[in-house]
Amino acid sequence: MYPLIAQDMHLSFDTIVTSVDRSGDNLTLEALDENLKDTNKSERILRDLQARIWKQRFVVGKSWYRTTWSWGDLIATFILVTANLIWGLFGYLKAVNEHRHHLEMITGRKEYMLTLTYYWAYLAAYAGMFDAGAAILFTLRENHLIRTTMGPEGGQYFHGIKYHIGLGYLTFAILTVHSFVILGLEMYYSDYDTYHVLNPTAGWLGHTDFWGLLAWIALALMVVGSLWAVRRWNYRVFYWSHQLYIVFFFAAAVHFPTAIYPIVGALLYFSLDRLAPYLNFARGVTGKATRVAEEIIRVDVPLVRLVNQEYAPGDWYNLRIPSVNLINWHPFSIGSFYRNTPSHATVFVKARGSWTDKLLVKVPEVG
């Protein structure tokens, strides 16, 4: 058994194991569990309220989509649906108001409806980007805001991931309507002059349409790569296709700079979540590593008493051990449950490559 000097992260469920040393006092996990039993009354009331709201009560869907819902899920879904309806209505009213004089000059009903549809589709893109920003918030490894709202069981895969998936598909649907309505009408009004409509060097119209189409293609590849069948077939395809979010956001910003306004806050929060593990060195904790089998190490890492450190089934730890590799993070599924061990999380590391082999050398004896 060897102590680990580790850093726990506030926003991300990451741990920096700064050293694996044979010296130092052994960690008494049972004592930490005992200390966490003293919970104040207000916290117990909050936990009880969250448990009632987010208790899974309804079975929704069949086969691959089968999932469970709670009253909290219904409330959250209602809020998100209402927000999208407001975006749609706002886009229509804004289109009618801002382009009133232009619309009044159109005599034919067909041309009037096509023009109004064009203006509405243009503004509908902001609703799609709003949904993209909301989807980002639900994909963070350990979102403190979501944890506080949903409670300790509101983890990424326990509750929140369904919103990330749903909002992602909704974003794609809205931006698909936006893209093809705008592109189709611009082709129609230009007598199908593809050169000027899609050539970024031909002028402002070609520039915006080219980058908008590129953003849509990146988003489409992300959606295809995220399909259940693709994820089951090859996880790496899913993972790397999802990295196209960088292309999507960049192309969307070049396409129309104001398009990123609805997601600025979410992007800043997302960036903080990704950078926090590299910037936060304030809180040091001592964990322990035990070699439980010939090729398996058990790593117990104590948790600071924070809402967002209470993990749920399906969560994982990202471990970085500078003595093994200075910059690489490695994800490991958590093998414990906070209701049983609220003071610490346990992961099991099996030697299957260069990084884990080096870690195995640090704990050479079966304990």
Domain ranges, ordered by start, for the chain: 2-43+283-362, 54-277
Give residues with Cβ within 8 angstroms of 15, minimum separation 6.
6, 7, 8, 9, 287, 301, 317, 318, 319, 320
pLDDT of residue 19: 40
Phi and psi at residue 197, in whole multiples of 5°? -80, -35
In sign, the C-alpha dihedral spanning 335, 341, 342, 344 is negative
pLDDT of residue 214: 95
In sign, the C-alpha dihedral spanning 168, 187, 126, 215 is positive
pLDDT of residue 367: 57
On the 0-12 / 13-18 / 19+ scale of CB atoms within 10 A, 342 is buried
Work out whether strand 67-69 and strand 284-291 pair parallel, antiparallel, or are unpaired.
Answer: unpaired
Query: What is d(CA 198, CA 135) in angstroms, rounded to the nearest whole number?
Result: 29
Residues in the chain: 367
Which CATH class, in words, describes the domain spanning 2-43+283-362?
A: mainly beta
What's the pTM value of the predicted model, to 2 decimals?
Answer: 0.69
pLDDT tens string, the chain, 367 residues long: the values are 444 444 333 223 344 444 443 333 333 444 444 444 445 566 677 777 777 887 777 777 766 667 777 888 888 889 888 988 888 888 888 888 888 888 788 888 888 888 888 888 888 899 999 999 988 887 765 555 666 666 655 544 456 777 888 899 999 999 999 999 999 998 988 888 888 888 888 888 899 999 999 999 999 999 999 888 888 888 888 889 999 999 999 999 999 998 888 898 888 888 877 676 566 544 445 667 788 888 888 888 777 654 445 666 566 766 766 667 776 777 778 888 777 777 778 888 888 888 888 888 877 766 5
Name the β-bridge partners of 15: 8, 319
Query: What is d(CA 112, CA 261) in angstroms, rounded to the nearest whole number?
Result: 29
pLDDT of residue 173: 94
- From the list 152, 184, 128, 75, the residue with the least C-alpha distance to 338 is 152
- Residue 98 backbone class (left: φ over 0; alpha: ψ -120 to 50; beta: rest): alpha
